[in-house]
Structure 1
Amino acid sequence: MDRIALQHTAKFHAQRISKLIEGDVEVIAASNAPFEIHVFESQWLTAVRGAGSATIARNGPLCNNDVYVMHLRKGAARLLHPEGSASVGSGQFVAFRGTCPIQVHHAQSYEFLALRIPRPFLERYLPEWQEREFVPTDLTPESKVMFGIADSLIDAGGQPCGDSLQSLGRSVAELLARALGQHAWPIGTADNPAEAHRRRVRQFCRAHLHQTDLSVDVIASGTGLSKGYLHRLFQSEPSSLMQWVQSLRLEAARQRLEDSGDRLSSLTDLALSCGFKSPAHFSSAFRSRYGTAPSQYRANCEPGKPLCGM
Structure 2
Amino acid sequence: MLHRDTVDTTVLPPAERFGMWLDLVARTSAPMRIRSAHADDFAARADFLDLGPIQVIKYHYPSLDATRTPKLIRQSDPELYVLALTTDGVGTSSQDGRRSEIRAGEFTFYDGSRPHDVGHHATEPEQGQATSVIAMIPHAALPLPPERMATLFGGKMSGREGIGGLLAQFLLQISGHPEQYHAADAARLGAVGLDLVTTMLGRHLVAEDAVPTEVRRRALVTQVQAYVHRHVGDPALSPRVVADAHHISLRSLHRLFEAEETTVASYIRDLRLARCRRDLADPALRTQPVQVIAARWGFPDKAHFSRVFRAAYGTSPQAYRESTCDPARIVNHPASMVTSSPAD
Please report the TM-score for the alignment, with normalisation by the length of structure 2.
Answer: 0.47
Identity %: 10
Q: Provide Cα deviations, 1:210-251, integer angstroms capped at 9, x if missing partner.
A: xxxxxxxxxxxxxxxxxxxxxxxxxxxxxxxxxxxxxxxxxx
Shift of 1:73: 0.9
- Asked if 1:173 corresponds to 2:194, the answer is yes
AA matched with 1:48: I
Shift of 1:14: 3.1
Tell whether the 8 Å contact from 2:89 to 2:130 is kept in structure 1 after alignment: yes
Tell whether the 8 Å contact from 2:93 to 2:101 is kept in structure 1 after alignment: yes
AA matched with 2:66: A
Question: What secondary structure does 1:182 align onto?
Answer: helix
Q: Determine the structure 1 residue equivalent to 2:33.
A: 26
Q: Closer, same or farther in 2 for the Cα pair 1:150/1:173, shift >3 Å?
A: same
Please point out which of 77, 82, 89 is paired with 1:63. Answer: 77
Shift of 1:2: 3.8
- Asked if 1:160 corresponds to 2:180, the answer is no
Q: Provide Cα deviations, 1:181-236, integer angstroms capped at 9, x if missing partner.
A: 33334699xxxxxxxxxxxxxxxxxxxxxxxxxxxxxxxxxxxxxxxxxxxxxxxx
Q: Determine the structure 2 residue equivalent to 1:15.
A: 23
Map 1:145-156 to 2 at 5 A. 145-154=166-175, 155-156=177-178
AA matched with 1:6: D
Please point out which of 89, 93, 104 is paired with 1:90. Answer: 104
Tell whether the 8 Å contact from 1:78 to 1:105 is kept in structure 2 after alignment: yes
Q: How many residues align?
A: 186
Please report the TM-score for the alignment, with normalisation by the length of structure 1.
Answer: 0.51
Q: Closer, same or farther in 2 for the Cα pair 1:90/1:119, shift >3 Å?
A: same
- Asked if 1:119 corresponds to 2:139, the answer is yes
Q: Provide Cα deviations, 1:260-286, integer angstroms capped at 9, x if missing partner.
A: xxxxxxxxxxxxxxxxxxxxxxxxxxx
Q: Determine the structure 2 residue equivalent to 1:105.
A: 119
Q: Provide Cα deviations, 1:9-35, integer angstroms capped at 9, x if missing partner.
A: 233223324434x13323222122411
Tell whether the 8 Å contact from 2:80 to 2:138 is kept in structure 1 after alignment: yes
Question: What secondary structure does 2:205 align onto?
Answer: coil
Q: Closer, same or farther in 2 for the Cα pair 1:141/1:185, shift >3 Å?
A: closer
Tell whether the 8 Å contact from 1:92 to 1:137 is kept in structure 2 after alignment: yes
Q: In structure 1, how many angstroms separate the alpha carbons of the residues matched to 2:147 and 2:191?
A: 14
Tell whether the 8 Å contact from 1:56 to 1:105 is kept in structure 2 after alignment: yes
AA matched with 1:55: L
Tell whether the 8 Å contact from 1:44 to 1:165 is kept in structure 2 after alignment: no
Q: Closer, same or farther in 2 for the Cα pair 1:18/1:165, shift >3 Å?
A: farther
Q: Which runs of 5+ in 1 are unaligned?
A: 189-310
Q: Closer, same or farther in 2 for the Cα pair 1:159/1:129, shift >3 Å?
A: farther
Alignment RMSD, CA only? Answer: 3.2
Q: In structure 2, how many angstroms separate the alpha carbons of the residues matched to 1:149 and 1:19?
A: 28
Q: Determine the structure 1 residue equivalent to 2:60.
A: 51
Q: Which runs of 5+ in 2 are unaligned?
A: 11-16, 123-128, 210-344
Q: In structure 1, how many angstroms separate the alpha carbons of the residues matched to 2:142 and 2:57?
A: 19
Q: In structure 2, how many angstroms separate the alpha carbons of the residues matched to 1:141 and 1:18?
A: 36
